[in-house]
Structure 1
Amino acid sequence: MSRKKCLAVFASGTGSNFEAIVTACEQGKIPAETVALVCDKPSARVVERASRHGVKSFTFDPKSFASKVEMETVIADFLDENGVDLVCLAGYMRIISDTLLSRYDGKIINIHPSLLPAFPGARAVEQAMEYGVKVFGVTIHYVDRTVDGGRIIAQRAVPYEGNDIDELFGLIHAVEHELYPETIARLLSV
C-alpha cells in the first residue's frame, strides 16, 4: 500500500482556505494529509487554526534571514523533512523564487481571486471592481517564475454586478473554499 500524500499550505493571514483544505483532508475529500503550514507572519490567525488541527507550523520573520535564498532553503528543508508532495499557496503574500521552485518544480500551486490572466498580483479584486467587470472569479494555477502567470489548472466564474467589496469578497471566498479542495483532490488522483 502506498503512503498517503502529504500537503503543505503556505499562508499569511486568517487561513480560511487553509481551513477548507485541512477539513477536506480530514473528511476524506482530498486523498492526502495536511502535514505542514508555512507562515511568514507568526501572529497570523492561520497559525492558531493549524494548531487546532494538529498541523505542524513553520513560522518565521523574513527579516531574520540574511537573504531570500537562505529563507527558501530553510523552508525547502522543512518541506523535505515532512515528506511534502504538494505545496498549496493560500494567501501567502511572497513571491516564490528559484530556490524553492527548483526543489519543488511542478509541485507548487496557487489560488488567485481573479480569472487569470486578468488582474494578476495583489489587489486583484479591487482592480477588477474598479475596472467595472461583471464576472469576477477564481483561478488555481501552477507557480512558475512569473507573478500569477503559471499554467492554469482550474477556474470558476463569480458573477457580480453590485458595488459592495465585502459582499464580493464573501462570494469569492465561498467559491475558493469549494474549488481549491476539489482541484487538489483531482490533482492527487491522477
Structure 2
Amino acid sequence: MMKDMRQSMLDAGVTLINEHGFAGVGLMKIINEAEGTKGSFYHYFKSKEHFGEILLSDYFEEHLATLESFLNDEAMTRSERVKTYFEYWATSKLTEDFHIKCLVVKLAGEISGASGKMQMVMAEGAEKVIQRMAQFFEQGNAENDFTIQNPEDTSRMMYSLWLGSTLLAAMQKRREILENAMQETLAILER
C-alpha cells in the first residue's frame, strides 16, 4: 500500500503540475489529489523540491524507455523510426486543446537557470535523450542510413526544435507549428 501511495502522489503531481506549473501547485493540493496525508508525503519525499526531482527523474526514465522502443523497432527504416517517435511526441505532449503534457516543456522556463537539484535533474535527463538520439544518428551514419555531419549537434538542435515548437504551438494554439517541426526534422534526415 505504501508504494501505491508514493506512485499516487507522483501521478497527482504530474497531472497538477502539467496544469498549473510547479510553483502553482501547493503540497496539500498534491496530497489531497492523491488522497494521502502529510505524513505519507514526507515518508517518501524530503521536500517539495525533492518530490520535483523524483518526478522529473521518473519522467525522463519513462521518456527514454519510450524513445528506445521507437529507435529499436527494426520493422521500420531509421528515418521512419525518428518520424514515428516525433509523431508520438506531437500527439502525446500537446493535447488537441493545446494543453502541454510534457513536464520538460512545462517546467523548463520555470526552473531553468536556477541552481537547484530539479534544474540539474532536468539538464541531465535532457542530455540523456540528446545523447541517445546522437548515438542513433552515429549508428545510422555507420550503416549508410544517414549522412548527418555532426550527430550530437543535430540531436541537440532537433530536441530544442521540438521543445520550442511544442511551447510555441501551445502559446499560439497552432498545430501547424508542430507540423513544421516535422518537416524540418524530415529534411534533416534526408540530407
Report TM bin, short chain: under 0.3
Greater helix content? 2
Q: Of the two, which has the highest radius of gyration? A: 2
Instruction: Give the structure with the larger strand fraction.
Output: 1
**TM-score, length-scaled by structure 2:** 0.27
With normalisation by structure 1, the TM-score equals: 0.28
